[in-house]
Amino acid sequence: MTKKNWFLLAILGVVVVAIPPFLGSYFQHVLILIMMWVTMATAWNLLGGYCGQVSFGHAVFFGLGAYGGGLLHLHWGTSPWWGMIAGPLLAVIIGIPIGLITFRLRGAYFALAMLALGETFRIVFINWEPVTAGAVGMIFSRTWGAQKLPYYYIALAVAALSIYVVYRLVHSKYGYYFVSIREDQDAAEGLGIPTTKYKLYALIPSAFFTGLAGAVYMNYIAYIEPHSVFNLSAISIMMMLCVMLGGAGTLWGPVLGAAAYTILSEALRAGIGPLAYLIFPIIACLIIMFLPDGIIGDWGKIKRVFSRRKPVYAGGE
C-alpha cells in the first residue's frame, strides 16, 4: 500500500471508531448491520472472488455459526457469548467435509451442490426438533439490553479482523494460488498446485468468518430460527450480491458493496415501503448486465462514461 492509502485507511479507522457514540440508536443499528455484512461479504469473497468457487450455500456457515452457541445455551445453559468460539468452530468442522466432497465438482455444479446443501441444512434444522428446537427457534437475553454501542464495537472488531486476515492471505503465496485456481484450474494443477487442498484453505477462513458473523448476529438479535439464518435468498444470495455490487476479487469491493447494500435497502424501505423489495432485484439485474465486475472492478468503465473520453482498451485496469 502507498502512503496515501495508509492515510485514507487511518481516516476511515478514526471515523468508524469515533463517530458512532454520537449517533442515534437507529443509525447505530444500521452500522452494526453494515459491519456484519462486511464480514460476511469479505468471507464469501475469499472463496468466491479470489478462489473462483461460487458458493450458493454460505448460509450453511452463517446458520451453524449462529446455532453453535445457541445449541450450547439450549442444552447446557452456557452464556451465548461462548457462541463466538463455538459457532465459527462448528462452521469450520462441518465445512471441511463439505469442502472435501463438493470441491470435486466444478463451476456451476459446485454452485448447485452448495445450494442443495444449504436447503438440506435448513430442512434438517427445522425437523430435528429434539436437538435444534425446530422451527420455533431460540430466544436469548441480551447482555447489554437496549444498548447498541458494545455490539457495534464487537461487530467492528470482527469485520476489521476478517479484512486483515483476507488481506494477509491474498498477499501471500496462498493468494496467488487462489487466483490461479480461479483463472484456470487445469493449468494450476499442471503447475503442481494441489487445487483441492488450496480450495479448502480458502474455505476454512471463509467458513470461520461467516460463522463468526452468525455468532454476532445471534448475540445481537438474540433470537434465531432456521428460516432466518439458513435462508437462501436473504443470506446466501445477499452475500453474493454485496460482493458483486462492490467488486469480486478486490479487497475493498465487498466492504463498499456491503455498506452500499445495507444503506440502500434501509433507505429504500423507509422511502418507498414494500416496493423496495421489487427495486432491489431489479438493481441486481442491472448490475450484472452492465457492471459485471462491480463498482471497484469496473471503475474504469464508470469513469469513462462520465468523462466521455475515448475508451482505453489494452491494460485499461
Which element (helix H / strand E) includes 139? strand 138-139
C-alpha cell at 42: 469479505
Minimum CB distance to another protein smaller for 33 or for 181? 181
Min separation Cβ 228 and another protein, Å: 15
Nearer to another protein, 25 or 184 (CB): 184
Residues near another protein, by CB under 8 A:
48-49, 52, 54, 101, 104-105, 107-109, 111-113, 115-117, 119-120, 123-124, 126-127, 182, 232-233, 237, 240-241, 244, 247-249, 274-275, 277-278, 280-282, 284-285, 288-289, 292-293, 297
CB of 123 to another protein, least distance (A): 5
Q: What's the CA gap between 215 and 163, in Å, rounded?
A: 17
Q: Look up residue 145 and give its three cell numbers.
A: 439490553
**Residue with smaller CB distance to another protein, 8 or 184:** 184
Give whole-number Cα distances, 113 to 61, 119, 202, 297, in Å: 15, 10, 18, 28
> Residue 93 CB, nearest distance to another protein (Å)?
19
57 grid coordinates: 450455500
In the complex, least distance from residue 102 CB atom to another protein, rounded to whole angstroms:
8
Give dist(CA 279, CA 265) in Å, integer: 9
DSSP letters, 137-173, are -EE---TTTT--HHHHHHHHHHHHHHHHHHHHHHTSH
| Residue 120 or 172 having the CB closest to another protein | 120
Going from the C-alpha of 208 to that of each of 24, 40, 44, 64, 201, the distances in angstroms are: 31, 10, 11, 10, 11
Side chain identity, residue 274: P
Q: Which helix (H) or strand (E) holds 82?
A: none
DSSP state for residue 224 in the 8-state scheme: E
CA–CA distance, 58 with 122 (Å, rounded to integer): 12
Instruction: Closer to another protein by CB, 121 or 201: give it.
Output: 121
- Tell me the closest approach of the beta carbon of residue 151 to another protein, in angstroms: 30
Closest distance to another protein from the beta carbon of 27 (Å):
27
Residue 79 is placed in which grid cell? Answer: 452464556
In angstroms, the CA 50 to CA 217 distance is: 26
Q: Which one, 68 or 247, has the nearer CB to another protein?
A: 247
Nearer to another protein by Cβ, of 10 and 272: the residue is 272
The distance of closest approach from Cβ of residue 148 to another protein in the complex, given in angstroms and rounded to an integer, is 30
